[in-house]
């Protein structure tokens, strides 16, 4: 499965993507737990945003091996 990282997350992880195999279907929450084990929980806070195939998704969204999953930090501004 292609996992994409954007903005400061991409900079902090020093990579723009990973290709990881999972037993599918799998939830975004389970993917996030795997990524926390790999990179540390400081990179995947509770308010991190996720999209599946270019559509916003929740932690309960199920994905398949052919799906594209993207994580990005929430946008802030003033």
Inter-CA distances, 30 with 9, 14, 17, 52, 62, Å: 18, 22, 17, 14, 10
For residue 21, give the CATH number of its domain.
3.10.20.30
Phi then psi dihedrals of residue 27, to 5 deg: -85, 160
Examine residue 68 and state whether it is found in any structural domain, yes or no: yes
- Does residue 38 sit within a domain? yes
Number of domains comprising the chain? 1
By 3-state DSSP, what share of the chain in percent is helix, strand and coil, each rounded to 5? 30, 30, 45
From CA 26, how far away is CA 31, in angstroms rounded?
7
Residue 19 falls inside a structural domain = yes
| Cβ atoms of 16 and 70 closer than 8 Å | no
Residue 78 lies in a domain: no
21-72: pLDDT as tens digits: 999 999 999 999 999 999 999 999 999 999 999 999 999 999 999 999 999 9
Full domain range(s) for residue 64:
2-72
For position 76, what pLDDT does the model report?
64
Does residue 77 sit within a domain? no
pTM for this model (two decimals)? 0.91
């Amino acid at each position: 499965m292609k996992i994409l990282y954007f903005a400061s997350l991409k900079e902090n992880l020093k990579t723009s993507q990973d290709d990881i195999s999972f037993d599918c279907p799998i939830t975004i929450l389970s993917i996030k737990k795997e990524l926390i084990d790999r990179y540390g929980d400081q990179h995947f806070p509770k308010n991190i945003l996720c999209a599946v195939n270019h559509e916003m998704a929740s932690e309960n969204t199920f994905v398949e091996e052919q799906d594209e999953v993207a994580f990005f930090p929430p946008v802030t501004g003033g």
